[in-house]
Structure 1
Amino acid sequence: MPQGLMLTDLAIAGALLLIAKVLRVNIPLLQRLYLPSAVLAGLLGLLFGPAILNVLPWTQTFSHNASLLTAALFSALGLATDLPSPKIVAQRAGSLWAFNQIASVSQWLFAALFGLGLTTWIWPTLNPAFGITLSSGFMGGHGSAAVVGNILDDLGWEDGFTLGLTFATVGIFLSISIGMLLLQLGVKMGWIHTFTAFSNMDSYQRKGLIKPDHQKAVMKDTMSSLSVDSFAIHAALVVLVTACSYLSSDYLSSFFDSVQIPTFVTGFLAGMLLRLIAKRTHANQYLCDNAFNHAAGISTDYLIIFGISAIKITVVAHYLLPMTVMAAGGVAFTLWLILWVAPRILGEGWFEKGLFSWGWLTGTVAMGIALLRIVDPEMKGTTLDDYAIAYVPGSITDIFIISLMPIAMYNGYHWEALGIGLAYILAVLCVWRFMLPRAACAH
């Protein structure tokens, strides 16, 4: 079982989050950057933490909190996730599913091979798994970066944890900054006719607040407070599944000498299993998905704070040049996916979906939503609904690649990983071409 979340660490992280939100509300520059409060809080934690000024009284084990919160995040997601039928996926979001699979797997393969080239011909002293720290941070955000970092740490490369979290943090900034340039390009090229510029946003949108008359309830009451508070039951389920994720991970890993089953995998699957049991017993009538989604959101915010705060500046400085080259290559490849591959697979209306995809391929789903809201402020389109449908079957692939790619690259199974990845991409292309209904091609 992991090191426990210490009250001191939670108090510090909470204080940083409150300070960050106040700064975000009152400083226009931060608003123009669309900087999430959790990222700003993490940067404050990094500045005032042991890496730089060392004035915050973090506990000695505060860096372990990111691992525990990752397990809680995926456990909550599993509890809120239904597995849609293949028919629904094909009819509603077939092309988006195909693009998501091709984009995510190819980004991992590109990062692995580009990094391998750098470590072979330019910086031979670097670990051969260096490249995948980019994709773990770009595509997966801080959650996946923490997962891959922990796997690499267990394998014997401690620096991988810091590198992944650094790429995830850099990706947040690239996601918004380059995303805004893509928006302007979209208007110029006629892919979209207008977008909501910062100057046209009201003060609530700029500050990241919701108007009082537009605010909605977080969750519905499903149980009488005479017996138990509804949120207490939902919190209990998240905690229970998180604990089971560690127990089942330890048990399954005991069968393999060199393979550690990540807790995020067992947590996600355990959450989906518990949800299935609840549906079969009709207990799901008394569960609220919004509660689980907000539990995942809370875990994500605190994960980002702890993850960024735990970055080791000396490690980043040591890898700065290869990281810069790696990031430049990753941005160029992802732009190719968005501007060349997306219109050929997604068809008409590709730009909105491609822009959303740029957000999560470089930052997080939240960054994708932020960019999408600029194009479609009233969210009249179906991009988010389609993504939600396509996410679940796609997440299974993500789980496998996040779990196995670090092991393959660290242990020298480079070409095996490349072969399997390319075969999967080819299979997805065949499914998209011959089995899925496709929109008219944009080019």
Structure 2
Amino acid sequence: MLSNWELFTDFGIAGGLLLTGKWLRANVVIFQRLYLPAALIAGILALVLGPSGVDLLPWSASFAANASVLTVALFGVLGLATDFPSRHVLMRRAGTLWAFNQIATVSQWAFAAMAGLGLMFWVWPDLPPGFGLVLSAGFMGGHGTGVVVGESLQAQGWADALTLALTTATVGIFASILGGMALLHLGLKKGWLKDFSRFETMSTVQRRGLVPREQQDSVGRNSVSTISVDTLAMHGALMVLVTVLGHHSAVFLSKFHGMLQVPAFVTAFAIGLAVRALLKRTKGSDYFDDRLFQHGTGAATDFLIVFGIGAIKVTILLNYALPLVAIILLGLAFNLFLVLVVAPRIFGDNWFEKAVFSWGWLTGTVGMGIALLRIIDPKMRARVLDDYAIAYVPGSITDMLIISLVPVLMMQGMADLAIGAMWAYVAVIAGIWYVVWGRHGLSHKAIV
């Protein structure tokens, strides 16, 4: 049985690795040139020094399960920090980005599912029918979605799924950085981009990621008097409560039918949204700071990446080496099609900034998209990130439905239903885009 100190030790080790990763990111130039996040460096250290490497880290026997808990926490806190935009704001401000997000998201899942089945039928018949999903789960969802889908596929009888999904998530971060830089140079050559912040012209702050004392700002506001309770303790209490309620709600709902498995991240997100709505209605939101919640999601993500990469089992990767390389290459090619062919037709003029940002989140995470966006648009004149924030919230419902249902359908012999439904949804969104925005004259000068 896991003791309290074993759990605390796991997080202490992960914290030490994160600090080491940050030190390396701030002082090793090659890591700066590659724009590697400290959490990714820490995760690689966890893999090399952990049980799949030289086995020097005193992890607990169940340290890999921490990634699952952090995933639930991530989505729960995301609900606490999320407002649904009005239909008017969505349509006028971020409509085309919403349409592209939906088309790109769902088509990547559908393509990956089809590609996995193709590899199973024509090349490697021993692959499970849900093999392709480890690509879209890791690429677009990052390590958080990789954990969710990997565990869902495991529950359907494929024991190796989690390691493969975490691997594609790790590869995706590298692909987002290296592919993003290649896209920037292509944009310069083609004239889609006039200039971008090259590494040589970046400030020391941008390179090292360390903000000087005189430029630092507050991470949040003190909303309560410490004579009653500490502000961070109050926010932390709510974040932990939502996470725990999300887990137990999922367990309770899953008991109603043997075939029903409600993912805890979905219930945690829903509870987070409900608590936020209640706080707004009762004016309790005056005493909770969204910036602290956003830091909560960031902290959960960083620790999640460390535990996720550290939990990768290299021996399993060797068994799937060739099909894994094949599905990754197919996924990269499809994402290039999305950002170089589909994106300019949907976005019209000034499409390239949104396309490069989209490459980041389609292959890695939103954080990687932001990193690329800061290189191409350091002053954020294009307001891409603002529009994405508006477009993401309604789109997240689609993400959750896919993550919850598609792995089960694929592994239960209903691949045709899952894939057909996803492509039908893509067609509907494409039709909505054309009726609402496309026929009103997006410029064709942007077409590649």
Q: TM-score, normalised by structure 1?
A: 0.98
- Amino acid across the alignment from 2:379: E
- Work out whether residues 338 and 357 of structure 1, in 8 Å CA contact, stay in contact via their aligned partners in 2: yes
Residue 136 of structure 1 corresponds to: 137
Residues 294-313 of structure 1: pairs in structure 2 closer than 5 A: 294-313=295-314
Residue 175 of structure 1 corresponds to: 176
Residue 113 of structure 2 corresponds to: 112
- Amino acid across the alignment from 1:275: R
How far 1:387 sits from its partner (Å)? 0.1
Residue 53 of structure 2 corresponds to: 52
Residue 193 of structure 1 corresponds to: 194
Aligned-partner SS, 1:247: helix
- Amino acid across the alignment from 2:237: A
Superposed CA deviations along residues 228-259 of structure 1, whole A, max 9, x for unmatched, are 11111111111000001111101111122123
Measure the CA separation in 2 of the matches of 1:314 and 1:10. 25
Residue 33 of structure 1 corresponds to: 34
- Amino acid across the alignment from 1:28: V
Superposed CA deviations along residues 357-403 of structure 1, whole A, max 9, x for unmatched, are 00000000110000000011122221000000000000000000011
- Amino acid across the alignment from 1:100: N
Residue 333 of structure 1 corresponds to: 334
- Work out whether residues 360 and 368 of structure 1, in 8 Å CA contact, stay in contact via their aligned partners in 2: yes
Superposed CA deviations along residues 177-207 of structure 1, whole A, max 9, x for unmatched, are 0100000000111111000111111222111
Residue 349 of structure 1 corresponds to: 350
Q: Is 2:373 the counterpart of 1:376?
A: no
Residue 222 of structure 2 corresponds to: 221
Measure the CA separation in 1 of the matches of 2:420 and 2:83. 31
How many residue pairs get aligned? The number is 442
Unpaired stretches in structure 1, ≥5 consecutive residues = none
- Work out whether residues 3 and 64 of structure 1, in 8 Å CA contact, stay in contact via their aligned partners in 2: no
Measure the CA separation in 2 of the matches of 1:396 and 1:48. 38
Q: Is 2:239 the counterpart of 1:246?
A: no
- Work out whether residues 93 and 389 of structure 1, in 8 Å CA contact, stay in contact via their aligned partners in 2: yes
Range with greater deviation from structure 2 (159-168 or 202-211): 202-211
Q: Is 2:396 the counterpart of 1:403?
A: no
- Work out whether residues 136 and 144 of structure 1, in 8 Å CA contact, stay in contact via their aligned partners in 2: yes
Superposed CA deviations along residues 119-155 of structure 1, whole A, max 9, x for unmatched, are 1110001111110000000000000000001111222
- Work out whether residues 90 and 436 of structure 1, in 8 Å CA contact, stay in contact via their aligned partners in 2: no
- Amino acid across the alignment from 1:48: L
- Work out whether residues 31 and 207 of structure 1, in 8 Å CA contact, stay in contact via their aligned partners in 2: yes
How far 1:211 sits from its partner (Å)? 3.3
Superposed CA deviations along residues 77-126 of structure 1, whole A, max 9, x for unmatched, are 00000111111100100000000000000000000000110011100011
Residue 367 of structure 2 corresponds to: 366
Measure the CA separation in 2 of the matches of 1:287 and 1:152. 37
How far 1:285 sits from its partner (Å)? 1.2
Aligned-partner SS, 1:295: helix
- Amino acid across the alignment from 1:440: S
Residue 431 of structure 1 corresponds to: 432
Measure the CA separation in 2 of the matches of 1:217 and 1:119. 52
Superposed CA deviations along residues 30-67 of structure 1, whole A, max 9, x for unmatched, are 11111111011011011010111111100001010000
Aligned-pair identity (%): 52
- Work out whether residues 3 and 65 of structure 1, in 8 Å CA contact, stay in contact via their aligned partners in 2: no
Measure the CA separation in 1 of the matches of 2:14 and 2:376. 33
Cα 1:269/1:97, change in 2 over 3 Å: same
Aligned-partner SS, 1:72: helix
Unpaired stretches in structure 2, ≥5 consecutive residues = none
Residue 69 of structure 2 corresponds to: 68
Measure the CA separation in 1 of the matches of 2:57 and 2:404. 33
Residues 250-265 of structure 1: pairs in structure 2 closer than 5 A: 250-265=251-266
Measure the CA separation in 1 of the matches of 2:71 and 2:340. 32
Measure the CA separation in 2 of the matches of 1:209 and 1:434. 47
Aligned-partner SS, 2:195: coil
- Work out whether residues 3 and 61 of structure 1, in 8 Å CA contact, stay in contact via their aligned partners in 2: no
Measure the CA separation in 2 of the matches of 1:379 and 1:345. 21
Measure the CA separation in 2 of the matches of 1:179 and 1:263. 33
Aligned-partner SS, 1:9: helix
Residue 443 of structure 2 corresponds to: 440
Cα 1:330/1:3, change in 2 over 3 Å: farther
- Amino acid across the alignment from 2:158: W
Measure the CA separation in 1 of the matches of 2:200 and 2:408. 47
Residues 3-22 of structure 1: pairs in structure 2 closer than 5 A: 6-22=7-23
Measure the CA separation in 2 of the matches of 1:23 and 1:260. 41
Residue 159 of structure 1 corresponds to: 160
- Amino acid across the alignment from 1:160: A
Residue 95 of structure 2 corresponds to: 94
Measure the CA separation in 2 of the matches of 1:211 and 1:380. 24
